[in-house]
Chains A and B, each alone.
Chain A
Amino acid sequence: MFDAITKYLSSATTPGEAGSIFWATIYILIITAGISLSVIAMNWLERKILAHMQIRLGPMRVGPHGLLQPFADALKLLIKEDIIPAEADKLVFWSAPVVVTMTAFTTFLVVPFGRTHAVTDMNIGILFMLGVSSLGVLGIIMAGWSSNSHYPLMGSLRSSAQMVSYEIAMGLAIICAVLMTSLQTGTGTLSMIGIVEAQASQHTWFIFKFFPLGFLAFGVFAIAMVAETNRAPFDLPEAESELVAGFHTEYSGFRWSLFFLAEYAAMLAVSSIAVTLWLGGWMRPFPNWLSGSIWNLAFSLFPALTLFVLAGLCLLGTARMPKIPQMKIQTVGLGIFGLLLGFIGLVLIIPGVRERVQDIYWFVVKVAFFMYMYIWYRGTFPRYRFDQLMKVGWKVLLPTGLAVLIATALWGLLPQISSAIVGVLP
């Protein structure tokens, strides 16, 4: 048993490639649980960060600093009455949240959290991700249609138009990255792991490649991905002040929470695409400049250090809690939570664990950066109008994406072109 685990852990392929159904199942379970947990964490973080941007405190009552608020909300949603409108198309109404959630989670099959930390490595990985995540639109249309109500219908129509038009710009940006994998080596790849390895072998993240082309392509993707996930300032389908809640107006309870889960899972999915394509996936920062065993050691200590800092914050919070009887449970709970984080941090110092975890850590940190940006946009920007949104998509992002794509192709072919010219010249 133990041998099997260590043997597997020391192998250098993903379970999908190795053909091990057992390990693939384990991975899927871990990823599903991890995504759900990070959605819960995101829920808390979004509320807190947004609240602090808006000079509020956010949740403070359920658990210390509202740490248990998402759990309380989840519980509330689960035991809430499940309302289906009388005039709704029941079958479609039931299946819509399932479709949305399933597609959002399925995309994570090919997301590489590390060289071996992926369920499988498909040779069409990025296409698979795009295709499956586009299916999510279907669920939204189903939800809007089956609700048999005006606001959801308009929300779902907006959503479908928006996602379809932004997918094109997104696709163009992705093609840029795929082109970059092939241009110097001559062997392009669509595999997610392959794309990261191409960045490793070319010693650059694609965001810095062919500067500013890589950056521009990344910019197009970064805007398109916000629109793709229906988040502010492109959150028209669920524009609260216009369409009440958009396509999920008629949903309540658990079904509504599935939409919520799917929205955040989709955000995580597109962020992981961005990280994989442009920010070097699981690679640690500055592998070229700060190379050498000392730097490797230093960077591999980061996960433990982060946890220690978080634990320290928790313990500091424990010390600063108001000393009144009502807050006693919360104070103790926060202290225990801090100690737990510290303990996990200690575990992460163990050399064997350290090496295997740091890939995941850097990947998660990069995704977290995008998540923060999502919240930051939401806290700052007004919302686009529908026609303006389309204008941005078709008249700004699409031409930019096309131009960047052509420029990338030409730049990549520069050696061949120049050698051809040199060959023609006398």
Chain B
Amino acid sequence: MSLKPLLRKLFLVDLIKGLKVTFNYQAPSEAITEQYPLERPVIFERFRGQPRLNSNPDTGESLCIVCNLCALACPEQLIVVKGERNPTTKRKEVVSWTYDLSRCMFCGLCAEACSTDALELTQDYEMALYTREGMVLDQAALERGQEPKRYEK
């Protein structure tokens, strides 16, 4: 063994190098913990979160034309859309719209399939509920979107 590695070994250079790294990281400014309910994470625009049914902001009518494309695109078959043709306007209107959030894997295929931008996966991510029943969203819940939650003791 040549002299330099031997000396490095004797004076524990390899261990001290590691100790230096951990020591330097102790500064509180290095901490990256996010204090979740106090600090909210930044959610980016394309995030696929809670689904929402959009309606026309001017008229308040649902944008959904009951084309059933989303239900066909869904791998889990969790979207059930029922509609019937309104005889006066000759347009299909929603009768029932359910979205089973508990089975959703947020792949975004339904939103991609939607031809009118009615169904959209939003940036809301706090979808935890106490019961499974509440996970099946109907049209009203989907249009309302996520209600802001407050966590208190």
Contact = CB atoms under 8 A, between A and B. Distances in A.
Q: Do A and B come from one complex?
A: yes
A280 to B, nearest CB: 24
B35 to A, nearest CB: 7
A55 B25 contact: yes
B31 A52 contact: yes
A55 B31 contact: yes
Contact of B25 (A52, A60, A324): A52
Contact of B19 (A52, A60, A376): A376
B15 A49 contact: no
B133 interface: no
Interface in A141-160: none
Contacts of B19: 376, 380
Interface in A366-398: 376, 379-381
Contacts of A379: 22
B28 to A, nearest CB: 7
Contacts of B33: 55-57, 60
B42 interface: no
Contact of B31 (A49, A57, A322, A376): A57
Contacts of A56: 31-33
B32 A376 contact: no
Nearest to A50: B22
B23 interface: yes
B43 to A, nearest CB: 21
Contacts of A51: 31
A52 B33 CA distance: 10
Interface string B10-52: 0000010011011101111011110100100000000000000
A53 interface: yes
Contact of A52 (B15, B28, B38): B28
A55 B30 contact: yes
Interface in B85-112: none
Interface in A31-51: 49, 51
A55 B18 contact: no
A51 B19 CA distance: 15
Nearest to B17: A380
A54 B22 CA distance: 7
B22 A380 contact: yes
Contacts of B31: 51-52, 55-57
Nearest to B39: A322
A49 B26 contact: yes
Contacts of B15: 380-381
Interface string A267-309: 0000000000000000000000000000000000000000000
Contacts of A376: 19, 22-23
Contacts of A49: 26
A419 B57 CA distance: 106
Nearest to B20: A380
A53 B38 contact: no
Contacts of A54: 25
Contacts of B38: 322, 324
A40 B27 CA distance: 23
Contacts of A322: 38
B31 to A, nearest CB: 5
A322 B37 CA distance: 13
Contact of B18 (A60, A324, A326, A381): A381
A60 B22 contact: no
Interface string A320-352: 001010100000000000000000000000000
Nearest to B21: A380
A49 B22 CA distance: 10
Contacts of B32: 55-56
A60 B35 contact: yes
A53 B35 contact: no
Contacts of A324: 38
A172 to B, nearest CB: 19
A55 B27 CA distance: 8
Nearest to B12: A219
A379 to B, nearest CB: 5
A200 B28 CA distance: 40
Nearest to A219: B12
Which residue among A60, A322, A324, A379 has the maximum number of chain B CB atoms within 10 Å of its CB? A379
A380 B18 contact: yes
A63 to B, nearest CB: 14
A49 B152 CA distance: 29
A326 B151 CA distance: 11
B18 A53 contact: no
Contacts of B35: 57, 60
B18 A52 contact: no
Closest 10 CB pairs of A and B: A57-B33, A53-B22, A380-B22, A52-B26, A380-B18, A379-B22, A55-B30, A57-B31, A56-B33, A380-B19
10 contacts: A49-B26, A51-B31, A52-B25, A52-B27, A52-B30, A52-B31, A55-B32, A57-B33, A57-B35, A380-B15
Given A53-B23, A55-B25, A55-B31, 20 more contacts: A49-B26, A52-B27, A52-B28, A52-B30, A53-B22, A53-B25, A54-B25, A55-B30, A56-B32, A57-B33, A57-B35, A324-B38, A376-B19, A376-B22, A379-B22, A380-B18, A380-B21, A380-B22, A381-B15, A381-B18
